Structure 1
């Protein structure tokens, strides 16, 4: 039996333009994207650990764009009544980088949230908790 010394996890995201999508997520997370294992592979440090691995799929195994139930969720915390203001600012940052707003911000019991599409059409939830 193979003994695992250390296990790591990453999130993998196919992209038509990996460098541009890495810049988008790097901007929202406040980190510098890193070149990965090739010119078509980029990494963005993920807040919970590991990386968001962004790559161009092989032409022999394409990954078509599609909406589904899986989405990336980025979270921030804010002081009391500032949650909505923080979210609006974050949405502005995301849309300036090429995202589009799917649903306007709304208050939920766990915080204020908004659903967007990133520049390549992947679902993205921005959540600000008080």
Structure 2
């Protein structure tokens, strides 16, 4: 018998962990000297910080059985901060909506802390 390998899609929580790692990585930017490496770092950081919230949205909407449309997808990519609370409000059941928005605000603060920690670690390492 030849068992087939079936990959499970990443969970919303896994996408958030990747997002925290990307914020930590992006925080290194102020400590980098100007040059090609700084430009490459900026490109990679921006790509990760643009893609990972959308990945979280895709995984979360699948878990909540929320039907994604092209308009929701475009809104999450282009206008993340105003659209995210609206998405959380529409995709959560009554009684869980404000809690989800509060958790998103706490997550945003934690992402800022992760970016600051990345900058601190880069300065301490002498990058």
Determine if the TM-score, normalized by the shorter chain, exceeds 0.5.
no
Tell me which of the two structures has the higher relative contact order, counting C-alpha pairs closer than 8 angstroms and 6 or more residues apart. 2
Q: TM-score, normalised by structure 1?
A: 0.29
Q: TM-score, normalised by structure 2?
A: 0.30
Which structure shows the higher helix fraction?
2
Which structure shows the higher strand fraction?
1
